[in-house]
Amino acid sequence: MAEGRTRLRRGEVAEAIALLSEGASLAESAGDEESRIIALVLLSTELAHACRFAEAERQAEEAIALCERAEDLPHLCVAIMNRVVLWALKKELPRATADLRRAIALAREIGNPWLERVATYNVAELLYWSDQQDEALSLARRAHTLEQRFVDRPVPECSLLLARILAARGDLGEARRLVAWIAATCPPEPSAKAAHGCYLMLRCLLSDGGDGVAPRDLLGGLDEAELEAGPFQFADELLEVLYWRGRAAIRHGAVEVAVASLSRARALLSEHPAWRSRFDGLALRLGASQAAASRC
């Protein structure tokens, strides 16, 4: 199983799946239930990413059943949270949010604020992507509170999610304060592609140049090649980065960048219709900006 995890870190998915499957079988033969649960949880997630959905669902169900039989609530919470990857990739939002709500309840039952934070963050993000922003905001604030209280070093995740939701709703003042805090304490690493992209584009959108960084420099921090290369775990991540890139570009007069962002997004909207109204709004903003420029 350890070698399977190593292959996962290297991005060698097929090899990792084979090794994790072998590890799960060996753990079963040895009567090592905990190791089998861990192997099955990891395996189900990678099978989902490989679009082997039926297999992924079977492995996840077995892991959950083992946890329930053993009354192992911490591992049950993790197994349920990990199954959300499968539902998200299959675009089954009700099943994803149901699992995450169950995980939140389990985390509270066992008194684990770290697991509660992760589950709350994930359901808030899914609801936000689905344009259910009122509930997403409430949950994001809860996740942010847990992060501030129980994480012993500054991390950007919940502050950035809260800023994203607030900016989408037009509350730019609070969003700006959160992004400034992230910039000063814990900016996302470029390797965290989606978080880094959203951070750069939000900072650009909210910037007036007073922080010593030119907005055009921030906008240029994410080019077309990076958007193509990924890796983005979900198409929603790419769509969100494109959305903020388009908004920032319109605000700062970078028409070509805005047009490119909208064009790239259109290819994805048929399968992700929850984003359509947001990009339609961007297109209207861009049209108004171009019309105003032509009158000058």
**The model's pTM:** 0.90
Q: Does residue 8 have a pLDDT over 80?
A: no
Q: State how far the Cα of 228 lies from the Cα of 265, in Å rounded to an integer.
A: 12
Q: State how far the Cα of 138 lies from the Cα of 121, in Å rounded to an integer.
A: 11
Higher pLDDT, 226 or 279: 279
Q: Which amino acid is at 110?
A: I
Q: Does residue 226 have a pLDDT over 90?
A: no
- In eight-state DSSP terms, residue 11 is T
Write out pLDDT tens, residues 239-287. Answer: 999 999 999 999 988 999 999 999 999 999 999 999 999 999 999 999 9
If you search the block for the tokens 């591992």, which residue do you land on? 75
Q: What phi and psi, each to the nearest 5 degrees, are found at residue 120?
A: -65, -40
The pair of structure tokens assigned to 240 is 């969100």
Overall average pLDDT of the 22-35 stretch: 93
Q: State how far the Cα of 7 lies from the Cα of 41, in Å rounded to an integer.
A: 16
Question: In whole numbers, what is the pLDDT of the chain averaged over residues?
Answer: 91
Lowest mean pLDDT, pick from 84-93, 199-208, 218-227: 218-227
